[in-house]
Structure 1
């Protein structure tokens, strides 16, 4: 259930991170799950996690904070969600929100945010029902997220190592360049 949410942390290409960083990323995932689970209740319909999804060992490159701030504004304006947590861990920056819109509507809006700009591809806007079920793109009939370098699904390229890690990192840096002062 919740452990599926941060699968990108567990599937980060091994060539780009040390064993120590991989361990830190997995520990960060576990702590995020605990924080998330504390928000699941009947008080709000939806819980949203907004996070940077940056490939490679540097989880907060230049422009990352500005991109997350832009993402926060998008989430707040489009969903009327309220930010209840802002944090940073080994996996990067993230924010947790609660919202009274139905989860399906929030997921539709999340996909629009993630696809709004080239840099927004580096955001994950994950949606959860108030009982902890994560809504993925497939739940609403959306295509899987594309790779940063090609048209294939990102998860396929991550698992098979289709691209050089440095090329993926350079693509992310280029996308972030619009958010660097």
Structure 2
């Protein structure tokens, strides 16, 4: 495996536990704030979900998102960033339409050079997740073949090493060409 993706390997049980914990926290935020909730993480295949390189990719996406939020004069009611072996996470609450937030997030996912790695889930105050399709945006594309990413992932169509290599190359090209940190 790549030096950039060296870290503590997560078992399926670890990943499922992290997903369950995230869902519980999202529900807690929905119950207590009764507003739009954003949950941001990365789409990183394989057993290593956190490393300094993965954190750099995550932090870049978070910086882009928070800059867009600030430029729109949207104030958060709550924000929390969590760095853990199951992958970095950002959770926030905003007192604004979930469709506005989802539109901003989907724009980042579609337009940013690393956007295909970013995963912004947006929940309406009642707890319903806002989909890309509701905004007229098609499903995410696979990094390697441009087919539906969900279908490729579910069928394990591609070797994890090829996906990691693609992610590594994308990120290195981005950080080198944009002279980031």
| Structure 1 residue 118: Cα displacement | 2.6
The residue number in structure 2 matching 1:40 is 30
Q: Cα RMSD over matched residues?
A: 2.1
Is contact 1:75–1:81 with CA below 8 Å preserved after alignment?
A: no
Q: Say which of 93, 98, 116 aligns to 1:98.
A: 93
Is contact 2:33–2:93 with CA below 8 Å preserved after alignment?
A: no
- When the two structures are aligned, how many residues end up with a matched partner? 163
Q: Say which of 108, 126, 129 aligns to 1:131.
A: 126
Q: Output the CA distance in 1 between the equivalents of 2:51 and 2:110.
A: 20
The residue number in structure 2 matching 1:122 is 117
Q: Output the CA distance in 1 between the equivalents of 2:48 and 2:139.
A: 25
Which blocks of at least 5 consecutive residues in structure 2 are unaligned? 1-8
| Structure 1 residue 85: Cα displacement | 1.4
The residue number in structure 2 matching 1:161 is 156
Q: Output the CA distance in 1 between the equivalents of 2:141 and 2:150.
A: 8
1:151-180 deviations in whole A, cap 9, x for unaligned?
101011112222122111111111221347
CA shift in 2, pair 1:81/1:174, >3 Å = farther
Q: Say which of 89, 109, 112 aligns to 2:104.
A: 109
Q: Output the CA distance in 2 between the equivalents of 1:71 and 1:109.
A: 12
Q: TM-score, normalised by structure 1?
A: 0.80
Is contact 1:48–1:98 with CA below 8 Å preserved after alignment?
A: yes
